[in-house]
Amino acid sequence: MTTTPIADRTTAVAARATDLSKIYGQGETQVVALDRVSVAFRQAEFTAIMGPSGSGKSTLMHCVAGLDTFSSGSVRIGDTELGSLKDKQLTKLRRDKIGFIFQAFNLLPTLTALENITLPMDIAGRKPDQQWLDTVIRMVGLADRLSHRPSQLSGGQQQRVAVARALAAKPDIIFGDEPTGNLDSRSGAEVLGFLRNSVRELQQTVVMVTHDPVAAAYADRVVFLADGRIVDEVYGPTADSVLDRMKQFDAKGRTS
Amino acid sequence: MFRTALRNVLAHKARLLMTVLAVMLGVAFVSGTLVFTNTISDAYQNSSAKGFDQVDVAVGAKYQEDKGDTLGKTPDLTRALLDQSAAVPGAASAIGVVNGFTAIADKDDKLIGGGFQSQGGNYWGDKDPRYPLKSGSAPHGKGEVAIDSETARRAGYKVGDTVRLSVDGPVLNPKISGIFTTDDGNVAAGGSLALFDTATAQKLFGKPGTYDEIDVKAKAGTSQSELKAALDEALPKGLTVATTGKELADDQARAIASSMSGLRQGLLVFAGIALFVGTFIIANTFTMLVAQRTKELALLRAVGASRRQVTRSVLIEAFVVGTAAGVTGLVAGVGIGAGLRSLMGTLGATVPDGPLVITPSTVAAALAVGIVITMLAAWLPGRRAAKIPPVAAMSSVHAQATTRSLVLRNTIGALFSAAGVAVVLAATTMSGSDGQAPMGLGAVLLIIGVFILTPLLSRPLIAATAPALRAFGVSGKLARQNSVRNPRRTAATASALMIGLTLITGMTVMAGSLQKSIDKMASAAVRADYVVSMANGNELSADVGEKLAATKGVTATSPLRNAPSRIDGETEYLTGVNGAAIGRLTDLKVDNGTFEVGGDKVVVDANTAKTHGWKAGSAFTVGFEDGKKQRLTVAGVYEGNELIRGIMLDLTTLAPHQKAADAADMQVMVKTSDGASGAAKDRLEKALGDNPAIKVQSKQDLSDDIAKMFTLMLNMLYGLLAMAVIVAVLGVINTLAMSVFERSQEIGMLRAIGLDRTGIKRMVRLESLVISLFGGVLGIGLGVFFGWAAGELIGTKMPTYELVLPWARMTVFLLLAATVGILAALWPARRAARLNMLTAIKSE
């Protein structure tokens, strides 16, 4: 359990991007994917990043999560500046500080559910914190499925394994890339429920990229991206309010 | 469909390159063998045809058959017969040919050539049409010799130099009077030829006044067959045979062709092994290509392509790959052929010059092998491709390898293996040659059985590596699990390596055991310190034994002198020994009677005794070479071996019946007062005039010689089998590359959640290592089994045979398998580590 005082929790920042730019190509064919984006993800907060296709929402997440390099600006996870890190250090950072949930579940078919959950600790050569592990497993309701292989689990169950994997290592921050994209609405709702619970009950920090307003409504805060820039921000969103915002962008996009 | 197939070939260049390489190696070896053997045999045939230019008809002596207790003999070709031949109508001239063995030493006193092609002969008169002089003049008398230009060039001799040579013992130091050129096939093949004047040659080769052959040249306008008819008419009936030059050339050509066909078949067997291994890789590659393209092929089916068209598109792809492999293989093969020829040159065997022969059949064979093998190997994957349902195009699930039950496969495999083991075991109980065919059959069955069973075997064997892999943490664990993920693929990859290692190990076990047993055989029964023999296995003249006996420090000597005789209407070889000394020089087990040789007392080996029904005390009549007969008594029966066997009688009993020139000592055994030592050996060699053609060997030298022979043989086999291993490496690379490709999403995820590049690389390398070691263990296991089984067969013929397991070598082979694994993983591991994480984790 984290021992961060409650007072600090609202102000402490888990990850922060400052003037972050990502430019592909050069000269005529230059494409600006991120244009001086500054954003902070506070601890124990559930943030959704939204935006139309090509808005740069995935790129933003990849850069902040240390999966991709950026052209200029700075990214900090906790106190660590990512821009100066070599691949090896970045990998270590991802291993120890970051959790991931992918759209395509990305479990190893050769490992059991439990082995998949403890994989990040296995990689680090650490023993999992058994008490914490039990808490996580209980939360996602996988206690009776631990010895199953991914191929014996439904899509929803697989994604719950992935959520447990992300939580099990007690990362500073969890990034989700369309975590409900491959799930039916019921399973999706379950997974989102777990993520929200992990923030509420376990003080986990979660950042999720999505294009689904219903999914975004589970977050504490929604950041809207368009053309590589942050264009809006909503706290305490509902599916309807998010959908309205989206429609506005679409209309703007059409008229401009 | 053709265009689609072609596009596919181009789209998977790297992967298909491996396949092309695998087939190409096999094809190159096949065509290289054909080019090489064709070239060599053509060159030999041309040179031998030229060698018979000067001969229109050759007259030889006709052997008179053995009758009753009288040995047959060869009539002498005398001067009178020569003159008679020269006088027949149509004959222009006649030359008397004398042949023998003559070893020439180079300036460092080393024998030129291997000793097997060291020839001597006569130079006819002052100008022998057979041997045009390049420089100098014809040899005259005992002090002069003419040598061939090739030998002169190699040893750096010129006219006027003194050269050391030896005919059957004593060293001669004649002066080189002339250097001649010759088309003689043996000289072309790296031998030497020394010519003396006719009288000297006749004396040296022990046939004064006679010739080995009379070569008759026809007058212009007289054909070879007319001359032959005239000679048949004129010469005494029944004593001579006349053969035309053309027949001689044809005979020799046939002999060359048949000796080449053995070599060719041997090399083709190895090419076949490489190709066989190659088919696994091709089948593997196409299976993977098809699996990878499931969606694409399903789409083709969905838009209306028939099953047959899908199969055909895969086969067309195979055809293109096979053709490419065939063509490049042919080109590489021509290179190999040329390379082999020059390699033979550097190994000391000079090959006659001649153009590189690339026959249409070579080209056809190369292309056919490449195309047929590739298409056959692609056939099953092609059929599988056709079975992909059109609906697969719609499903988003990446088609995984079939998880069809292995039950049927395992049952068949178990049956084959059991049958194979049973037949091999049954064969080991048979004797010698009877067991060969069943053993071969059993071996083939067992190998096929193990092939089929490899997927089943992979699980327990690879699971056994778990403790070792645990040391590598999560990479090791993942590697182990990945390697059993697709048992069929792992099996096919490991099998490719298995075959090579089975053969290598089997050969090594057999060779090691054989070497040990021959070694034992050669030295077990010998008490002598030294064995003296001719370098080429020819006979020693009688005075070698005499000289050795007179050398200081020598306490006992005995020759082993071979002499034919007639006993009970059969030809039997006698061994003449020094009866007084032989007991001290040999250590033969006596079955019954006493080991006593002298006067009419002889000893007989158990086998000969059994054939004739003799035991100690039996008496028999022997017919000697000179036609005289004598009654001999068996004093004892001893246990013979490959080197010492037969009827041993005292030299004093044998010698009176032999002409001095016929006294043929195969070996002389020597015992010295101070045992085998460098000084003693020097003294013996010095006593023989430091003759380059004579070997003085201690037991240790003999062992070393035998070991050297086996090492050379094994190294050649290793070289040839390396092909199969190289092909197997390509197979492992291919499999790994494919696995990395298929698992790119997983690898991307592992990278994302924190496995660094080193970890990824280690994972791929360990997988490769595990698969290779799996193949290696299977191969070595099978090899040892086959080596043991073959040994059981050999053991029935060779009492000293015992199984020797070459642990050191086997460890080396296992390390070799490991190296194969690590080398093969270099590129795939790099690729895996460099995989773009973001594209890899992105869902489709």
Instruction: Give the other-Cβ count within 10 Å of A38's Cβ.
Output: 12
Nearest to A26 by CA among A71, A64, A62, A88: A71
Mean per-residue pLDDT for B736-758? 87
pLDDT confidence of B169, banded at 50, 70, 90?
low
Point out the residue among A87, A109, A123 whose CB comes nearest to the CB of B757.
A87
pLDDT confidence of B351, banded at 50, 70, 90?
low
What is the model's pLDDT at position B446?
92
Chain A contacts of B478, Cβ < 8 Å?
A: 108, 110
Asked if A104 and B750 come within 8 Å (Cβ–Cβ), the reply is no
Report yes or no: B841 at the A interface, CB cutoff 8 Å: yes
What is the model's pLDDT at position B346?
65
So where are chain A's domains?
A: 43-69+84-251
Residue B114: pLDDT over 70: no
Nearest to A173 by CA among A44, A87, A39, A10: A44
DSSP structure string for B469-482:
HHTTHHHHHHHHHH
Distance from CA of B301 to the nearest CA of A (A): 27
Of residues B110 and B56, which shows the higher confidence score? Answer: B56
Q: Are B313 and B301 in contact (CB under 8 A)?
A: no
pLDDT tens per residue across span B187-212: 766 778 899 999 988 888 877 888 98
Chain A contacts of B756, Cβ < 8 Å?
A: 87-88, 91-92
Mean per-residue pLDDT for A90-94? 90
pLDDT confidence of A104, banded at 50, 70, 90?
confident
Point out the least confidently predicted range of A12-16, B223-227, B697-701, B794-798. B794-798
What is the model's pLDDT at position B116?
61
Please state at what angle helix B13-51 crosses helix B2-11, rounded to 10 degrees. Answer: 90
Chain A contacts of B746, Cβ < 8 Å?
A: 106, 108
pLDDT confidence of B806, banded at 50, 70, 90?
confident
> Nearest chain A Cα to B483, which residue?
A110
Positive or negative: CA dihedral A228, A234, A236, A237: negative
Mean per-residue pLDDT for B153-161? 89
Mean per-residue pLDDT for B560-577? 87
Distance from CA of B450 to the nearest CA of A (A): 26
Mean per-residue pLDDT for B263-276? 79
Distance from CA of B512 to the nearest CA of A (A): 44
Instruction: Give the other-Cβ count within 10 Å of B221's Cβ.
Output: 7
pLDDT tens per residue across span B408-435: 888 889 999 999 999 988 888 887 677 8
Using CA atoms, how far apart are residues B331 and B431, in angstroms rounded to an integer? 46
Q: Which of A212-226, B235-249, B617-631 has the highest mean pLDDT?
A: A212-226
pLDDT tens per residue across span B628-647: 888 999 999 998 877 778 89
Residue B695: pLDDT over 80: yes
Q: Which residue of A96, A102, A172, A209 to mutate against B (max B Cβ within 10 Å)?
A: A102
Give ∠ CA B411-B403-B301 in degrees, rounded to 5.
Answer: 120
Mean pLDDT estimate for chain A:
87
> If DSSP codes are grouped into helix, strand and coil, which group holds residue B838?
helix
Point out the least confidently predicted range of A228-232, B197-201, B203-207, B359-363. B203-207
What is the model's pLDDT at position B844?
43
What is the model's pLDDT at position B243?
85
Interface confidence, given as ipTM, is 0.86
Residue A240: pLDDT over 80: yes
Tokens for A155, please give them. 């899509």
Give the DSSP letter of residue B292.
H
pLDDT confidence of A24, banded at 50, 70, 90?
confident
Report yes or no: B837 at the A interface, CB cutoff 8 Å: yes
Mean per-residue pLDDT for B219-231? 86
Give the DSSP letter of residue A150.
G
Nearest to B133 by CA among B200, B182, B64, B74: B182
What is the model's pLDDT at position B352?
66
Mean per-residue pLDDT for B100-120? 78
Please count the residue pairs, one from chain A and one from chain B, whose beta carbons lie less than 8 angstroms apart.
74
Tokens for B634, please give them. 């068996």
pLDDT confidence of A11, banded at 50, 70, 90?
low
Report yes or no: B485 at the A interface, CB cutoff 8 Å: yes
What is the model's pLDDT at position A252?
60
pLDDT confidence of B345, banded at 50, 70, 90?
low
Using CA atoms, how far apart are residues B666 and B582, in angstroms rounded to an integer? 15
Backbone angles phi and psi of B356, in degrees to 5: -65, 125
Mean pLDDT estimate for chain B:
83
Strand partners, B217: B93
pLDDT confidence of B404, banded at 50, 70, 90?
low
CA dihedral of B65, B68, B71, B73, whole degrees rounded to 10:
-30
Distance from CA of B484 to the nearest CA of A (A): 9
Mean per-residue pLDDT for B811-835? 91
DSSP structure string for B4-39:
HHHHHHHHTHHHHHHHHHHHHHHHHHHHHHHHHHHH
Q: Which of B184-188, B189-193, B269-273, B577-581 has the highest mean pLDDT?
A: B577-581
Mean per-residue pLDDT for B498-524? 86
What is the model's pLDDT at position A163?
92
Mean per-residue pLDDT for B584-610? 87
Asked if A106 and B485 come within 8 Å (Cβ–Cβ), the reply is no
Strand partners, A15: A41, A77
Chain A contacts of B759, Cβ < 8 Å?
A: 123
What is the model's pLDDT at position A221?
94
Point out the least confidently predicted range of A69-73, B166-170, B697-701. B166-170
pLDDT confidence of A164, banded at 50, 70, 90?
very high
Q: Which of A4-8, B141-145, B280-284, B343-347 has the highest mean pLDDT?
A: B141-145
What is the model's pLDDT at position B469?
86
Point out the residue among B474, B746, B841 whose CB comes nearest to the CB of A123.
B474
Per-residue burial over A143-181, b if 16 or more Cβ lie within 10 Å, else e, is: eebeebebeebeebbbbbbbbbbbbbbbbbbbbbbbbbb
Point out the residue among A88, A102, A125 whose CB comes nearest to the CB of B749.
A102
According to DSSP, the β-strands at B99-101 and B118-123 are: antiparallel
> Nearest chain A Cα to B484, which residue?
A110
Give ∠ CA B110-B44-B362 in degrees, rounded to 5.
Answer: 125
Q: Which of B229-243, B467-481, B516-530 has the highest mean pLDDT?
A: B467-481
pLDDT confidence of B348, banded at 50, 70, 90?
low
Strand partners, B93: B217
Chain A contacts of B755, Cβ < 8 Å?
A: 91, 95, 123
Nearest to B196 by CA among B216, B180, B217, B213: B180
> Nearest chain B Cα to A91, which residue?
B754
Using CA atoms, how far apart are residues A38 and A157, in angstroms rounded to an integer? 35
pLDDT tens per residue across span B455-502: 888 888 888 888 888 888 888 889 988 888 888 888 888 988 898 899
DSSP structure string for A215-248:
HHTTSSEEEEEETTEEEEEEES--HHHHHHHHHH
Nearest to A74 by CA among A153, A1, A18: A18
What is the model's pLDDT at position B733?
87
Asked if A106 and B837 come within 8 Å (Cβ–Cβ), the reply is no
Report yes or no: A67 at the B interface, CB cutoff 8 Å: yes
Asked if A110 and B482 come within 8 Å (Cβ–Cβ), the reply is yes
CATH code linked to domain A43-69+84-251: 3.40.50.300
Residue B399: pLDDT over 60: no
> Nearest chain B Cα to A169, which residue?
B753
- What is the maximum span of chain A, computed from C-alpha positions, in angstroms? 57
